[in-house]
Amino acid sequence: MQRLPISNDSLHLLPDPTVETLRRDQDGLEAQRTLAEECPVALVYNGTTAAVVMATPADLQDLALGFSLTEGTIENVADLKSLDIIPGPSGIELRMWLAGTSEQRFKRRQRRLVGPTGCGLCGIESLADAARPASHLTRSIIIRARQVESALLALSDAQTLNRATRATHAAGFFHPDQELVAIREDVGRHNALDKLAGALAANNVSATEGAIVLTSRVSIELVQKAAAISCPMLVAMSAPTALAVRAAQACGITLIAVARGSAFEVFSHPDAISG
């Protein structure tokens, strides 16, 4: 595992990812309900806030690392010198210090955005940035049709936070030989994928060797984030947008969506699916 220097002094002050609350049903009966927490999380590089996302306050080191990778701020773990997780009354700051060329890259691409749970592209600086092209990926994996169902079942079984709250998305990494390797959950689908990307990088797992499995629909930014970590396959429970399909086709990603049980639809590069 690649260790990112991290300050642990204030981690005990972080909010819990779930909150217990009283609610009444339609008959007026009170009972406990477990809710997913969400709070503002600022991603700060060398003292400059680059983004604020609404996120579940868990796996924040993975979020910091994964967001930095999928947004192109860094190329690998070594590009981050340190991370401080700083909780405060208004939210949480992920204070990162960049190394070498990453600092210069950040200054060139600096942007400010606010990303609520339903949006991943708010605040970008130009229309061209919204549909930024990704490098074409070289795919070396084949997945069997029955493994799509296995991946979805494994992801569902591993969603402990969603099982408690019924309010979170999940992103998992499925290896054709090792099955479900990692999973991360969050109230935001983009955050879940960023957390997964960070977890894979921290554990030296190459995203080129498997498929990302999502509980959400597939929009353009999810394809872009998958391409940024060189993952050649996306499997999603819900449908993609037309732009996401065009992006997946252009960069070489096999996009499988509307996947429920043994049924699924392939929208790009179907040669990666065997019988």
pLDDT given for residue 135 in this prediction: 77
Count of beta carbons in the 10 Å neighbourhood of residue 191? 30
Q: Check if 119 is active-site.
A: yes
- Overall average pLDDT of the 261-275 stretch: 95
pLDDT band, very low/low/confident/very high, at 62 (cuts 50, 70, 90):
very high
pLDDT at 6: 66
- The catalytic residue among 39, 119, 122, 231 is 119
Q: Which two tokens stand for residue 117?
A: 């749970």
Average pLDDT over residues 79-91: 95
Which tops the pLDDT comparison, 132 or 193? Answer: 193
pLDDT bracket for residue 27 (50, 70, 90):
very high
In the prediction, which pLDDT does 104 show? 80
State the greatest distance between any 2 C-alpha atoms of the chain, in Å, as a whole number: 62
DSSP letters for 56-81: -SSSHHHHHHHHHHHTTS-SSGGGEE
Q: What percent of the chain has pLDDT over 90?
A: 79
262: closest CA among 143, 152, 142? 152
d(CA 224, CA 71): 9
What's the rounded mean pLDDT across residues 206-219? Answer: 96
Q: Is the pLDDT of residue 252 over 80?
A: yes
Helix, strand or coil, per DSSP, at residue 103:
helix
pLDDT by residue (tens digit) across 32-53?
999 999 999 999 999 999 999 9
The H or E element that residue 53 is part of is: strand 48-55
Across 66-75, 117-126, 128-137, 252-261, least confident range: 117-126
Residue 100 has a pLDDT of 80
Q: What is the average pLDDT value for the chain, to the nearest integer?
A: 90
* Alpha-carbon dihedral sign for residues 73, 182, 211, 245: negative
Q: How confident is the model at residue 55 (pLDDT cuts 50, 70, 90)?
A: very high
Model pLDDT, residue 11: 74
Q: Among candidates 18, 37, 44, which has minimal Cα distance to 188?
A: 37
- Would you state the pLDDT for residue 140? 83
CB half-sphere exposure, 180, CA atoms < 13 A: 22
* Residue range 147-203, pLDDT digits in tens: 999 999 999 999 999 999 999 999 999 999 989 999 999 999 999 999 999 999 999
| pLDDT tens per residue across span 111-120 | 544 455 545 5
According to DSSP H, which parts of the chain are helical?
A: 60-70, 101-109, 127-130, 145-157, 160-165, 189-202, 220-228, 242-251
Q: What is the pLDDT of residue 113?
A: 45
Check residue 220 and give its pLDDT. Answer: 95
For residues 111 and 123, the answer to whether their CB atoms sit within 8 Å is: yes
